[in-house]
Amino acid sequence: MARRVAVVGTGQTPYKTRRRDVSVPELVHEAAGAALSDAQLTIRDIDAVVFGTAPEAFEGVNSPDKWAADAVGALNKPFMRIHTGGATGGSAAQAGVHHIASGLFDVVMVVAMQRVGQTPEAQRILGLIWDPIFAAGFSLNLITTVAMATSINMQKTGLTEEHMARISMKDHLNALNNPYAHVRKAVTVEDVLKSFPLVKPIKLLDCCPSSDGACAIIFASETRARKITPKPAWVIGMGGSTSVTTPGEENDEATLGRLAAKNAYRMAGIDRPRRQIDVVEPYDPFSITEIGYYESLGFCDSPAEALRMVERGFGEMTGEVPFSPSGGVLCSNPIGATALVRVAEAAMQVTGNAGAHQVPDAKVALAMGAGGSPAPGSATFMTAMVLSSQSR
Amino acid sequence: MGSIEVSARWEVPFSHDIGETSSKFLIELRDHARIMGTKCPECGRVFLPPRAFCERCFIPLKDHWVELEPRGTLEAFTIVTDAYAPAGLPRPPYVICLVKLGGSDTAIPQTLQGLDLSDPRRVARELKVGAPVKAVFKENREGRITDFHIELMNV
Amino acid sequence: MAQRADLLEIPGTWDLPWTYAAGEVGSRYIEELRDNARMMATKCPGCGRVLLPPKSFCERCFVSLKGHWVELEPSGTLEAFAIVTIPFPEQREPPYVVGYFKIGNASTNILHFLEGVDLSDPDKAREKLHIGMPVKVIFKEKREGRMTDFYIVPAEE
């Protein structure tokens, strides 16, 4: 990287089905203000703004970035909007880092938001993202997409609904220690297995909620970061990759974050993730996703081994490498902001600021983002960022 | 060749949460026929419609409400004579304007009514930016920006 | 949770009509369905992949596939499926089976419904359907130039 970059402050809003007390600008302003407070900076210290939000059909306002711009400190400053579906927050974080690593800016505010609660049914909006010529009209939505993939997975690898339920139970338990989390309710494996079957084998408690929320992160150059805070969270690796696997074809190298993580690891000098990474905030809107990540992110060598790891509690708070200590995407999903929240949580972990869901002695954290979905005419965007308490 | 087109329609209902600040503005309008703004204690700007924060000073304005006189100046206007696509707009001709009220620093969009629009060109020549205007409230108000409209003060 | 009386909401609606151009390749595909009851795909001269739905370019070789057409046998296999029993807004009235199908020698699968399956007991149906089961493409009598000009049903094993 040309210049070292670090996170010097983060801010989040509590994730809820609907934040009735704020308009879009007020929601993002809350997150931006919280990040400035955290960094003990003022808006005058910010050189540029990167803003992330995914389909505005959720908000029902075209270009909500324009509405929100001055609420996030963009007055008289360069501003750009980033949109890569669910990976938006991760891509926005990377864009923020690029601004600084390039040498052109020193302190950048990155804010991401979504209001998934302004329309009665999120899947209706997501149903508008498919190829209008060949895919529209076939009732595809993210739940049926995941249901199809899960059925195949179960046939091929021996994955069971119990494995998925264990992940869901873990994430819900972790969310109890995160004051920002949307769903804060302990569930047992039994509760998950008995929860409403949406599209078998996917049940209600295997899925994320629809959330309103915003997150802000302030990034700074090395020189400035050291002046701003005694504990910067250093960005030591980044990677992004697009998967264009069409159903029916072999998964390409980018699927499930494999290539994005590989690129981030190379930059970070990580060749044994299981030893060198202390905590992971993955992008997992469904309970099955984390299981796939054990293998694709290099924590084990095979899908079969991944299942053994689930059975042993590998990703639990007391496990070898905690996954989603915040409760993860499964418990809070303000889509366009979600992947930025993963970066914020990773930064909080390596600076010892994660409060009740702190992983003891966490020094290196991995944050993932995923957007889009495999379908005819679609692509999946993956982002990976490694944060460390050491600048290397 | 290459001429097939596929049709679709997006019909999506929304329920926009307007937040505490905008809600208070509309509720004061509805219940008391009062126009409220917020004022930044640092730079002194008065916002109409009211804002929850000052974007320059970056401070919250939740505790800084001011009542605004329902009188002010015409800052800009246009006379719409052709109907166009969006549903729910008044039938032309009608006048859209920007007005400052009660000494606000920002202008609010509104409709300017009470004019004889049988000769729109004449009205366009005679209306002057800076003309004194007043807010006129509806009898039955609903908590919407249409609870009042603007009229010229000297008719 | 009781709604606060001091917080208002304003209804809005997006009621927007769209007209999507299918393009040269998409148009030919649809015309062949409508006029000739034929399933056509494009084949990449570089990597040899047969793409269904057809694309006008190969995203790996980055070459144009215009003019590189092949006809596919109207039969194939079920590659993935989900039995939907709950209603999703603006989507098909349940129950139905949505799935991915490999048709002819296509390298990619198309999205479609699987018709002709007894769904009176969806769990039983889930047992009976399996990845790799043979299917056939049936063209409708009256075709309109749409992806629904054909439907897919299980074929004899």
Pair A175, A116 in one domain: no
Same domain for A145 and A9?
Answer: no
Closest CB from C79, C88, C148 relative to A248 = C79
**Residue C23 CB partners (closer than 8 Å, separation 6+):** B2, C56
Is B113 inside any structural domain?
A: yes
Nearest CA in chain C to A203: C86
Instruction: Please check whether residue B3 lies inside any domain of the structure.
Output: no
Give the number of beta-carbon pairs within 8 Å between A and B. Answer: 65
Q: Is B88 on the interface with C (CB under 8 A)?
A: no
A93 and A242 share one domain = no
Contact between residue A176 and residue A186 where contact means Cβ atoms under 8 Å apart: yes
Residue B4 maps to a domain: no
Whether residues A173 and A251 share a domain: the answer is yes
**Residue B122: inside a domain:** yes
Whether C12 sits inside 8 A of B24 (CB atoms) is no
Cα distance between residue A116 and residue A123, in whole Å? 10
pLDDT of residue A112: 98
pLDDT category of residue B85 using cuts at 50, 70 and 90:
low
Cβ separation B21–A26 shorter than 8 A: yes
pLDDT for C157 equals 67
* Tens digit of each residue's pLDDT (9 = 90 or more) over B30-75: 999 999 999 999 999 999 999 999 999 999 999 999 999 999 999 9
Q: Are residues A90 and A135 in the same domain?
A: no
Mean pLDDT of B143-155: 92
The last residue of one of the domains, among A197, A228, A259, is A228
CATH, residue A162: 3.40.47.10
Is residue B5 in a domain? no
Instruction: Select the more confidently predicted residue: A210 or B88.
Output: A210
User: How many domains does one find in chain B?
Assistant: 1
Do A200 and A300 share a domain, yes or no? yes
Q: Is A311 exposed, middle or buried (0-12, 13-18, 19+ CB in 10 A)?
A: exposed
Chains within contact range of chain B (3+ C-beta pairs < 8 Å) = A, C
| Cα(C154)–Cα(C112) distance, integer angstroms | 13
Let me know if residue B54 belongs to a domain: yes
The residues, ordered by sequence, that sit 6+ positions from B17 with a Cβ below 8 Å of its Cβ are A18, A19, A20, A21, A22, A23, A115, A117, A118, C7, C9
Q: Which helix (H) or strand (E) holds C97?
A: strand C96-103
List all residues 6 or more positions away from A44 whose beta carbon is below 8 Å from its beta carbon.
Answer: none
ipTM value, please give it: 0.90
pLDDT tens profile C46-100: 999 999 999 999 999 999 999 999 999 999 999 999 999 999 988 999 999 999 9
What residues make up the domain containing B40? 19-152
CA distance A196 to A206: 10
The residue with tokens 């063209």 is C139
Contact A124, A142 (CB under 8 A): no
Which pLDDT belongs to residue A374? 82
pLDDT of residue C110: 96
Q: Do A42 and A59 fall within a single domain? A: yes
- Which of the other chains make 3 or more beta carbon contacts under 8 angstroms with chain A? B, C
A156 with A279, same domain: the answer is: yes
Best of C8, C65, C147 to disrupt the B interface by mutation (most B CBs within 10 Å)? C8
Q: Which domain holds residue A46?
A: 5-120+211-228
pLDDT band (50, 70, 90) for residue A120: confident
Is residue B2 scored above 70 in pLDDT?
no
Please indicate whether, in this complex, the C-beta atoms of C11 and B19 are within 8 angstroms of each other: no
Q: What total of structural domains would you count in chain A?
A: 2
* B6 lies in some domain: no
Q: Using 50, 70 and 90 to split pLDDT, how confident is the model at A128?
A: confident
Same structural domain, A105 and A84: yes
Per the prediction, chain C carries an average pLDDT of 95
Predicted pLDDT at A248? 86
What's residue C2's pLDDT? 59
Q: Does A249 touch chain C (CB under 8 A)?
A: yes
pLDDT at position A126 is 86
| Angle (CA) A380 A384 A389, round 5° | 165
Please say if the pLDDT value at position C1 is more than 60. no
Q: Residues A317, A372: one domain?
A: yes
Burial (CB count <10 Å: 0-12, 13-18, 19+), residue C35: exposed
Best mutation target among C3, C100, C121, C152 (most A Cβ atoms within 10 Å) is C100
pLDDT tens digits, one per residue of A234-269? 999 999 999 988 888 888 888 999 999 999 999 999
Same domain, A74 and A133: no
pLDDT confidence band for A373 (50 / 70 / 90): confident
**Mean per-residue pLDDT, C20-32:** 95
The percent of chain C in helix, strand and coil, each rounded to the nearest 5, is 15, 40, 45
Considering CB atoms only, which of A36, A118, A125 is closest to B17? Answer: A118
- How high does pLDDT run on average in chain A? 96
* Tens of pLDDT, residues A14-25: 999 999 999 999
pLDDT, position A124: 83
User: Does one domain contain both A188 and A298?
Assistant: yes
In a domain, B1, yes or no: no
Which chain C residues contact residue B16 at CB under 8 A? 9-12
